[in-house]
Amino acid sequence: HGYPLWTPELKIQLRENYQLEGLKIGDVGIVSPNDGSFDVLFNITLPQSEQPYPRLVREDFTPIVLDPEADFATQPRAVSVHGVIPSESVELISQEIHSCDQRPSRYGAVLVLPEGARSCDLVNEKRFLDEAIRHGIDWYACATEKAGRLINNDSLYLITGFHKTHSWSLGAAGRTGSS
């Protein structure tokens, strides 16, 4: 199910088009250790003029052009109303949250989507992988030098899909001691 964001709202400093639409396929950024939000730096599918921070993009940057009909798998109702998405350590006995049973694990979590969720996933992931291999070092330099982020070399994420909704609820459980 990807990487859930604790704070899915984007930074208010971003351009209005980013604030309205939210994360996009092709966004490159960092999951903030402070609040669990996604700190978007740039997008590999947008021209420089539409970038969230145009100054971070190299002058010779060429965006990947995607075909919305061929390159995306979109599901308007990927998760049904009142849907529940469990972590791997949680087994859903039914869709009712009070019927979750935790498997032998120290931690577990569930995401409840009262209004359901839509999803969009990149179909041709190889193009993005090739781009990351070609430019990953430049992306890291952009994050650390141009944007001034203090990150490890494994901290950059390239968005290849998402689930979006208007409301959600999270539940987490943990065990202490041994059993």
Residue 18: both structure tokens together: 């980013």
Task: State the Cα–Cα distance between residues 131 and 65, nearest whole angstrom.
Answer: 12
Position 95 scores a pLDDT of 54
Dist. CA 69–CA 90, nearest whole Å = 35
pLDDT tens digits along 48-99: 989 988 899 988 899 999 998 889 898 877 778 878 877 777 776 665 544 4
Each residue's pLDDT tens digit, 144-172? 999 999 988 788 999 999 888 888 888 88
Give residue-wise pLDDT tens across range 128-143. 999 999 999 999 999 9
Please check whether residue 97 is in contact with residue 112, taking contact to mean a CB–CB distance below 8 angstroms: yes
| Range of weakest confidence among 4-8, 43-47, 157-161 | 4-8
pTM: 0.80
DSSP assignment, residue 68? H
Type of residue at 24: K
* Per-residue confidence (pLDDT) for residue 66, from 0 to 100: 92
- The Cα angle at residue 38 between residues 37 and 43, in degrees rounded to 5: 165
Residue 40 burial (10 A CB sphere; 0-12, 13-18, 19+): buried
